[in-house]
Amino acid sequence: MKSVTVIGAGLMGHGIAQVFATAGHAVVLSDPDLGARAAALARVAANLRDEGREPGPVMARISLEAGLEEAVAHADLVIEAVPERLALKQQLFTRMAEAAPGHAILASNTSVIPITRIGEGLAGSARARLLGMHWWNPPHLIPLVELVRTPHTDAAVFEAAFEWLAAIGKLPVKVHHDVPGFIGNRLQHALWREAIGLVEDGVCDAEAIDLVVKNSFGLRLPVLGPMENADLVGLDLTRAVHRYLFPSLRATPQASPLLDRLIDDGHLGMQTGQGLRLWRDGEAEALRRRLAAHLQAPLAAAPRDPHTWEGGCQC
| Catalytic positions, written as ranges | 111, 134, 146, 185
- Per residue, the 3-state secondary structure of the chain, as one string, reads CCEEEEECCCCCHHHHHHHHHHCCCEEEEECCCHHHHHHHHHHHHHHHHHCCCCHHHHHCCEEEECCHHHHHCCCCEEEECCCCCHHHHHHHHHHHHHHCCCCCEEEECCCCCCHHHHCCCCCHHHHCCEEEEEECCCCCCCCEEEEECCCCCCHHHHHHHHHHHHHCCCEEEEECCCCCCCCHHHHHHHHHHHHHHHHHCCCCCHHHHHHHHHCCHHHHCCCCCHHHHHHHHCHHHHHHHHHHHHHHCCCCCCCCHHHHHHHHCCCCECCCCECCCECCCCHHHHHHHHHHHHHHHHHHHCCCCCCCCCCCCCC
Please name every residue paired with 147 in a beta bridge, in sequence order, or none if there are none: 133, 174
Residue partners of 29: CB distance under 8 A and separation at least 6: 5, 6, 9, 13, 14, 17, 37, 40, 62, 63, 64, 65
